[in-house]
Amino acid sequence: MTTYSAATAAILSLCLTSAAMADATHDHGYPDRPDSHAPIGVMGDHTHPKGEFMLSYRYMHMDMEGNRAGSNSISIEDTLAQFPVSPTVMTMDMHMFGAMYAPTNWLTAMVMVPYIEKDMDHVTRMGGTFTTRTKGVGDVKLSGLISLINTPDHNLHLNAGISFPTGSIGERGAIPINPDAQLPYPMQIGSGTYDLMPGITYSGRAETLSWGAQLSGVIRLDTNSRGYSLGDRFQATAWGAVKLAEWISISLRVAYEHWGNVDGADPELMQGLVQTARPDFQGGDRIDLGFGINLLGQDGLLKGHRIGLEFILPVYQNLNGIQMERDWSITVGWQKAF
């Protein structure tokens, strides 16, 4: 724990330094615009002025179909040559409830609570099919967004987050050889570990254009109660947006993500049965393109309400071993500051 205390002390001293800077020079009286928030798929992209509170809800849907080895698609037949069971289709739906509050201009606190549903269809060598399903509250995330630069044209902040192991890692289900089997890593709801979520986010704007970038990571701090930890993650993303009118902007975003294999292994999983049970078949790299729309209500009941939509298409995937490939995902969200 001593390294964490040292890190906390370092972050705290950074906060105090930036607090002095931010409070002395800025008070955020900037006009709101649809693209003052990033595309809705980006988390922790903006801060709030002192005393402001924001609620948000996001719905995310992700679709995966077929398998890939490295960057090449691989047929179900080829997958079944290596494992007696192959996944064919997986979907994930997530409802993410969020709240933000700024006790001061240099610090915005953020909490996010996900509710996750996963479905995975499989086919067996014998030609049978079966589906596993899991759902539940995922890992709750608490972040501090620390403003370093806050002007009408440029914003820069640090993201300091912790993910709590509130999501289940003991999800079970019926498979052909066992009516009550521990399900593989991709079907679990949480990581089972405390995770650090550091990041840095920049955004800038001009008359009708805006842009931004974020670097972020997920670092697993321990090993979970089932004897493994999910791989660390690193993400880099950058976006540009055009404000078409006071109430609408459209955006284009590119995102690169790298994530590691599972460390250790859940001893209850049979690694020879299916690719998803292999700890060394979990990591990879992916590049996504995101096409987004942000709406900002102008008058009456809609005033100040934000709706964001982002459709995400992978353009490159390189997966360790054999894994399901991602086809597309969509995020729709609502945000309102008070």
What is the 8-class DSSP label of residue 161? Answer: E
From candidates 85, 100, 169, 274, binder to Cu ion by CB under 5 A: 100
The residues, ordered by sequence, that sit 6+ positions from 336 with a Cβ below 8 Å of its Cβ are 54, 55, 56, 304, 305, 306
CB-nearer residue toward Cu ion: 56 or 188: 56
Q: Is 96 in the site for Cu ion (CB under 5 A)?
A: no
Owner of token pair 């509710």: 115
- Paired tokens of 238: 């950058």
187 or 337: whose CB is closer to Cu ion? 337
CA distances from 19 to 86, 141, 149, 249, 318 (A): 53, 23, 10, 31, 42
**Tokens coding 12:** 């705290």
Residue 108: CB partners within 8 Å, gap ≥ 6? Answer: 47, 48, 100, 101, 102, 144, 145, 147, 157
Please give the backbone phi and psi of residue 61, each rounded to the nearest 5 degrees, phi first.
-130, 135
We find the least distance from the C-beta atom of residue 111 to Cu ion, in angstroms, to be 11
The reply to whether 60 sits near Cu ion by the rule CB under 5 A is no
Piece in contact with Cu ion (CB under 5 A), picked from 54-62, 112-120, 188-196, 253-261: 54-62
Indicate the DSSP class of residue 273. T
CB 68 within 8 A of CB 76: no
Return the number of the residue (45 or 325) whose C-beta is nearest Cu ion. Answer: 45
Kindly state the number of chain residues that form the binding site for Cu ion, as judged by CB under 5 A. Answer: 2
- Does residue 112 interact with Cu ion by CB under 5 A? no
Shortest distance (Å) from residue 190 CB to Cu ion: 24
**Do 79 and 85 form a contact (C-beta atoms < 8 A)?**
no
Site string for Cu ion, 153-182 (x = CB under 5 A): ------------------------------
Distance from C-alpha of 68 to C-alpha of 66, rounded to nearest angstrom:
7
- 336/291 Cα distance (integer angstroms): 22
User: For residue 325, how many other CB atoms are within 10 A of its CB?
Assistant: 20
Q: Which stretch binds Cu ion (CB under 5 A): 66-74, 99-107, 187-195, 296-304?
A: 99-107
Residues 282-301, one symbol each (x = binds Cu ion by CB under 5 A, - = not), give --------------------
Nearest residue (CB) to Cu ion, 142 versus 221 = 142
Tell me phi and psi for residue 80, to 5 degrees. -70, -20
Which residue minimizes CB distance to Cu ion? 54
Per-residue contact flags (x/-) with Cu ion for residues 8 to 47, judged by CB under 5 A = ----------------------------------------
120 binds Cu ion, rule: CB under 5 A: no
| Piece in contact with Cu ion (CB under 5 A), picked from 27-35, 66-74, 94-102, 186-194 | 94-102
Range 172-211 burial, b when 16+ CB lie within 10 A, else e: bbebeeeeebbbbbbbbbbbbbbbbbbbebbbebeeeebb
Instruction: Name the one range near Cu ion by CB under 5 A: 15-23, 53-61, 117-125, 221-229.
Output: 53-61
Stretch that binds Cu ion, among 23-31, 51-59, 215-223, 285-293 (CB under 5 A): 51-59
Stretch that binds Cu ion, among 100-108, 155-163, 204-212, 238-246 (CB under 5 A): 100-108
Strand partners, 219: 196
Closer Cβ to Cu ion, 276 or 335, answer by number:
335
Choose one: 74-82, 93-101, 155-163, 260-268; the region binding Cu ion (CB under 5 A).
Answer: 93-101
- Least Å distance, CB 234 to Cu ion, is 24
Instruction: Report if residue 274 touches Cu ion, rule: CB under 5 A.
Output: no
Interface with Cu ion, residue 85, by CB under 5 A: no
Q: Which residues bind Cu ion (CB under 5 A)?
A: 54, 100
